[in-house]
Amino acid sequence: MSRVLRHRGPDEQGTFSSGSVALAFRRLSIVDILGGHQPMCNEERNVWIVFNGEIYNHADLRHDLEKRGHRYEEYGEDCVHHLRGMFAFAIWDARYNRLFCARDRLGIKPFYYAIAGDRFAFVSEIKALFELRDFKARLNRSALPEFFTFGYLSAHETLYKNVYKLLPGHHLCLDLATQNVQPQITRYWDLDNSLPQESFSEADYVSQFRELFTETVRGHLMGDVPLGVFLSGGLDSSSIAAVMASLTKEPIQAFSVGYAENQYSELPYARTVAKHIGAEYNEVILGPGDFLSSLPQLIWHEDEPLVWPSSVALFFVSRLAGEKVKVVLTGEGGDELFAGYLKYRVALWNLRGAPLYRKVVPRFLQQAVRKALSSRLGPDWATRKLRHSFLYHPDNFEQIYFDNFYAAFPQHEQPRLFTRALNNELRDINAYANSMQYFPTDGLNGNALNQLLYMDIKTYLLELLMKQDQMSMAASIESRVPFLDHKLVEFAASLPARYKLRFSSGKYLLREAMARQLPPEVLQRNKKGFPTPIRPWLRNQLFEQLKAILTDGRMAERGLIESSYVQPLLNAHRQGSSSATEACWRLLNFELWCRIFLDRDSGVALAPSTDAQPAFYKSDVAALSETPLLS
C-alpha cells in the first residue's frame, strides 16, 4: 500500500507494526526536515500517529502545551477544535486498543477507508486499498445516477463498492476493545449558514477581511522549503500572489498554464499580475496531444473519472512548479466563499423571476418557448444561454439549479442512457438526494445566496479539493488553500449577501480589499473559470480517438450504457452541441476509469495527436504513456 503512494511522499517512508495494527507513511519533507519522521510516537511509545497536512498554528499550540509540561498528549478527541490547518490523521492508542482518525473542517486533505472482511483500512488515495489481500475494485452501481448527473458523489460513498470517504469536519473512532468492527463517526464542525445580520460598516468589513486574509496567507507560508503560487490571472489567485509578495523579501515564484488558443488562455492576465507584483514567472502551454495522452495516468492518480478537464492543466502546472518549489499556494475556495461563479447570479434571477413568469404567462406560451429552445434552432451560444433560464426549466429547484449548471446527464435523461436492466436496478435512486440534504427543506427565507454557497462548500468544493490534492501530489508537491482557513470561511459566511454579490458581480468585498494591490484589468474582469479548449479539441483533433473508445465494443460489454444512445450523442457533439460534448467527456472518462480500475488493464494508453505539438516537455509527455498504471 505504501509503495503505490510513493508519489505522495518520495523523500522518506516509515512503518509501525504491533499485533493487529500496522501503519505506513510516505513523507514529503516540508517542516522539520530532519526531525519529522513518521509514524511518530509519544515518550512511552504506546500512542502512534500518521499525519498528512499542515497545522498552521502549531507554534502557538506548542508554547501552551510546553507550559503545561507536555510534549504530546493533552486534549484527547477535542484536539481537532484546537487545530487550524489542513489535515487527515490517524492515532493508534495502544493503551485503550483504540484508533482515532480525523479530517479537517473543509476536506482539504483526503481520507478514505474500507472494511474488508475483518480488516479496517484507511488511505490517502483509494488505489492503495486494492493492495489488500482479496479486496478488489468493484463498481458501486447504486452511485451511477448521481455520478452521471454531477460527475462526483456528495455523501460518504465512492464509485467503488465498500470504499468510503470520511467527510470533512468529522472524526472516526474504532474501539477494538469492544470488538465492534463498525467505526463510530461524529461531526465536530459545521458552518453556520443562517441569515447574517449587518453588524459593521462596509469600511469595517473590508478592514477586517484584509487583516484576516493577510494573517491567513502569512500562516500558509510556513515551511523549511521553497514555496510558490499557482497564478491563473483570476482575482483569487492574484490576490494570494499579491499578499505573498508583500510578505516576502525575495520575488515569489509564480506558475501558470495556458493554451495556444487565445480565447481559452488566461496567460496574458497571469503575466500582467506577475509583472505588477515583481514575481518570477513560469508558464507551460498545453496542446491536444499532451492532453489526451495524459488522461489514463491522471485518472489513475485521481482514482476516479476526471470531472473537469482542468485536472489535466493542474497536473502539468504542478509538474512545472515541482522543478523549483515543494509547496504552492492556490486560490481554490474563493468562488464558494464570495459567490464568484455566474451560476449564483443566474440561479438567484431564476428563483426570483420564475414564479412571476409562471403566474403571468399562459401555460401554452410557456410550452411553446420551451419547445423552441429544445429544438436547438439558432446558434448554440444563444440557445445555451436561454436554456439556463426559467424559460426552459420547469419550476423545480433540482432542475433549475443542478440540471442547469452541473448535470451532464440529468436524471430525467438517464433512462435513455442506461440499459433496461440497469434502469430497473436503479429505479428508486434519486440522483439529487445527497446534495439536497444540504439545502433547507423549509424554504430559502431570504437567505438564498448563502444557502447555495453552503451547499457548494459541502459538495462541489469537496471534489475541487480532491482534484487539487491528487494532481499536485501526483507531481510530489503540496498545495495549500488560504481561502479555506476555517476562520476565513466562518468570516465569509457571516457577511450579508450584498458584500458578496452586488451589481451582478461577485466577490465585492474581495475586490474592494485588493483595490490597492492589483491592476484594474484584473480587478474588473469577469471570471472565466479555468477554461479549456476541450470542445474544439474533441470535435476536431481528438474526435477519432474519442469515437474509437466509446464505440469499440468494450463499453457495450459492461451492460451499463445503452449502445444505441452513444452514436447520436457523438453526432450531436460533432455538430457543435455543447451539452453533448460534456456528456461525451463524462462517458470517455468513465470508460477509461473502468478499464484502469475494474478491468485492471495496465496497458491503457492513448496515443498523442499527430498534429503539431508544442516543444515543451515533449520527452516527458511521451514518458507519461509508458508509465505503468498499476503497481
- Say whether pLDDT at 615 is over 70: no
Average pLDDT of the residues in 106-116: 96
pLDDT at 608 over 50: no
Beta bridge partners, 173, equal 100, 184
In this prediction, residue 159 has a pLDDT band, given cuts at 50, 70 and 90, of very high
**Nearest-5° angle of CA 431, CA 432, CA 436?**
155
Residues 58, 53: Cα–Cα separation, whole Å: 12
Share of the chain above pLDDT 70, in %: 94
pLDDT at 241: 97
The answer to whether residue 476 scores a pLDDT higher than 60 is yes
CA gap 160, 139 in Å, rounded: 5
pLDDT for the residue numbered 446: 77
Quick one: pLDDT band at residue 260, thresholds 50, 70, 90? Answer: confident
What is the pairing mode between strands 112-116 and 163-165?
antiparallel
E strand map for 423-519 = 478-480
Q: Please count the structural domains in the chain.
A: 3
The band of 447, judged by pLDDT with boundaries at 50, 70 and 90, is: confident
Could you tell me if residue 179 is inside a domain?
yes
- Dihedral, 401, 405, 407, 408 alpha carbons, nearest 10: 160
C-alpha cell at 98: 483504540
How far, in Å, CA of 2 to CA of 5, rounded? 5
Residues 540 and 573 in one domain: yes
What pLDDT is recorded for position 503? 76
Place of cell 459545521: 190
What is the Cα–Cα distance from 550 to 545, expressed in whole angstroms? Answer: 9
Residue pair 112/122 in contact (Cβ under 8 Å)? The answer is yes
Check whether residue 171 and residue 230 sit in a common domain: no
Q: Are 208 and 181 in contact (CB under 8 A)?
A: no
Residue 361 lies in a domain: no
Q: Does 318 lie in the same domain as 223? A: yes
pLDDT on residue 609: 37
pLDDT band at 194 (very low <50, low <70, confident <90, very high): confident
Cis peptide before 520 (omega within 30 of 0): no
Q: What is the pLDDT of residue 353?
A: 83
Rounded to 10 degrees, what is the CA torsion of 402, 404, 405, 406?
50
Please check the confidence at residue 274 and state whether its pLDDT lies above 90. yes
List the single range of 118-132, 240-254, 291-305, 493-507 with lowest mean pLDDT: 493-507
pLDDT on residue 538: 94
Spatial CA neighbour of 340 closest among 210, 193, 504, 209: 504
Q: Are residues 279 and 162 part of one domain?
A: no
The 10s digit of each residue's pLDDT in 201-252 is 999 999 999 999 999 999 999 888 889 999 999 999 999 999 999 999 999 9
User: Are 29 and 166 within one domain?
Assistant: yes
Residue 206's alpha-carbon distances to 145, 210, 511, 512, 513, in angstroms, are 43, 6, 10, 7, 6
Find, among 204, 259, 203, 211, the residue nearest to 232 by Cα: 259
Segment 44-53 shows an average pLDDT of 94
Which residue range forms the structural domain that includes residue 468? 202-331+454-499+507-521
What does 413-441 look like in DSSP terms, one character per residue? Answer: GHHHHB-HHHHHHTTT--TTHHHHTTS-T
Quickly state the pLDDT bin for 604 (edges 50, 70, 90).
Answer: confident
* pLDDT of 610 over the 70 cut: no
Please give the residue that has the higher pLDDT: either 35 or 623: 35
517 & 542 share domain: no
Last residue of a domain, one of 187, 220, 250: 187
Q: Are 197 and 101 in contact (CB under 8 A)?
A: no
Q: What is the mean pLDDT of the chain?
A: 89
**Whole-number Å distance between alpha carbons of 111 and 115:** 14
Q: Does the structure show a pLDDT above 50 at 617?
A: no
Using 50, 70 and 90 to split pLDDT, how confident is the model at 528? low
Question: 172 and 73, same structural domain?
Answer: yes
Is residue 482 assigned to a domain? yes
Per-residue pLDDT of 75-105, as tens digits, reads 889 999 999 999 999 999 999 999 999 999 9
User: Amino acid identity, residue 395?
Assistant: D
As a dihedral over the C-alpha atoms of residue 405, residue 406, residue 412, residue 416, rounded to 10 degrees, the angle is 120
Confidence of residue 623 (pLDDT cuts 50, 70, 90): very low
Helices 448-458/486-493 angle, 10° precision: 160
User: Which ranges constitute the DSSP H helices of 200-234?
Assistant: 202-220
CATH number at residue 11: 3.60.20.10
If asked whether residues 227 and 97 sit together in one domain, one would say no
Q: Write the CB contacts of 175 (distance below 8 Å, at least 6 apart in sequence).
A: 96, 97, 98, 184
Q: Is residue 298 part of a domain?
A: yes
The whole-angstrom separation of Cα 82 and Cα 75 is 9
| Cα 471 to Cα 229: distance, rounded to the nearest angstrom | 15
The pTM score is 0.91
567 domain residue, yes or no: yes
Are 152 and 215 contained in the same domain? no
pLDDT tier at 47, thresholds 50, 70, 90: very high
Rounded Cα–Cα distance for residues 366 and 353 (Å): 14
Rg over alpha carbons for the chain, rounded to the nearest Å, is 24
Same domain, 251 and 315: yes
Pick the more confident residue, 67 or 295: 295
Give the pLDDT of residue 88. Answer: 97
Most confident of 290-299, 314-323, 343-352, 610-619: 314-323
Cβ burial, residue 184 (10 Å; 0-12/13-18/19+) = exposed
Instruction: Determine the Cα–Cα distance for residues 99 and 234; give it in Å rounded to an integer.
Output: 42
Mean pLDDT to the nearest integer, 7-18: 93
Chain segment 300-324, per-residue pLDDT in tens: 999 999 999 999 999 999 999 999 9
- 383 lies in a domain? no
| pLDDT mean over 379-390 | 74
**Residues 213 and 314 placed together within one structural domain of the fold:** yes
In this prediction, residues 574-599 reach a mean pLDDT of 94
Q: Answer whether 213's CB lies under 8 Å from 482's CB.
A: yes
DSSP state of 561: B
How far apart are the C-alpha atoms of 17 and 526, rounded to whole Å? 54
- 352 inside domain: no
Is residue 542 within 8 A of residue 613, CB to CB? The reply is no
Asked if residue 408 belongs to a domain, the reply is no
Question: What 3-state DSSP class applies to 572?
Answer: helix
Residues 386-411: b if buried by 16+ CB within 10 A, e if exposed = ebbbbbbbeeebbbbbbbbebbbbbb
CA 216 – CA 481 distance, rounded (Å): 10
SS3 for 95-119 is: CCCEEEEEECCCCCCCCEEEEECCE
* pLDDT at residue 15 greater than cutoff 70: yes
* Residue type present at position 436: M
pLDDT band at 627 (very low <50, low <70, confident <90, very high): very low
Same domain, 512 and 566: no
Write out pLDDT tens, residues 530-561.
Answer: 578 999 999 999 999 999 999 999 999 999 99
Confidence of residue 179 (pLDDT cuts 50, 70, 90): confident
CB neighbour list of residue 98: distance below 8 Å, 6 or more residues apart: 92, 173, 174, 175, 176, 177
Q: What is the pLDDT confidence band of residue 508, given thresholds at 50, 70 and 90? A: very high
pLDDT surpassing 70 at residue 529: no
